[in-house]
A and B are shown apart, each in its own frame.
Chain A
């Protein structure tokens, strides 16, 4: 079983939709859960992260971790065409990150 599994997508939604991006992980020792956004032909950029369980909100973005089910989610409210990108989840241990394969999101105007 891969350490971090992410829905492969791609995902296409209309502008204004609520988007839910999800990952599962296998190692219960992970404490840090990251979301990166990668635009085409660019390097990934850190979007937000949570430590241990719970929610974290930043504007239209909410990151959620459920450690009991080993589930990581990113919600995007009122999605915009500028949100069109590849989203990568990652989990951290020993100062290193393990990434999911990424899901490409397209928000249609």
Chain B
């Protein structure tokens, strides 16, 4: 079974702090994704990585950066956390081959609260 793990289930940070969210997958997937999920807004893509050290902006990249130094690990960084970044953050991975690239497997999510 594909397993995607995220470093924390719940996180509370103060405004202005630098925040790191870590994601690890164990299925040798090429593609990895970071989303945030908010009530009434659904799942929105923040960043996408299709290979080590490769990244692409999603729909809402402002205020975020990412790092992918190893294939299995994809980190989301909030350079200076703000209250409007309070959200559920979800990591996903998928293979890169054809139609299977749309078979995204999600982690359990990190609920981040910025106070």
Contacts and interface: CB of A to CB of B under 8 A. Distances in A.
Interface string B95-107: 0100101111111
Give chain B's interface residue range (CB within 8 Å of chain A): 20 to 34
Given A32-B102, A34-B102, A95-B101, A101 B40 contact: yes
A17 interface: no
A99 B109 contact: no
A95 B42 contact: no
A43 B94 CA distance: 15
Interface stretch (A44-52, A55-63, A77-85): A44-52
A97 interface: yes
Given A96-B45, A101-B41, A102-B42, A42 B108 contact: yes
A104 to B, nearest CB: 11
Nearest to B35: A99
Contacts of B41: 101
Closest 9 CB pairs of A and B: A43-B106, A101-B42, A92-B102, A99-B43, A95-B101, A32-B102, A44-B106, A43-B108, A43-B109
B42 A99 contact: yes
Given A96-B45, A101-B41, A46 B96 contact: no
Contacts of B92: 43
B109 A95 contact: no
9 contacts: A41-B108, A41-B109, A43-B107, A44-B90, A49-B103, A92-B101, A95-B101, A97-B102, A101-B42
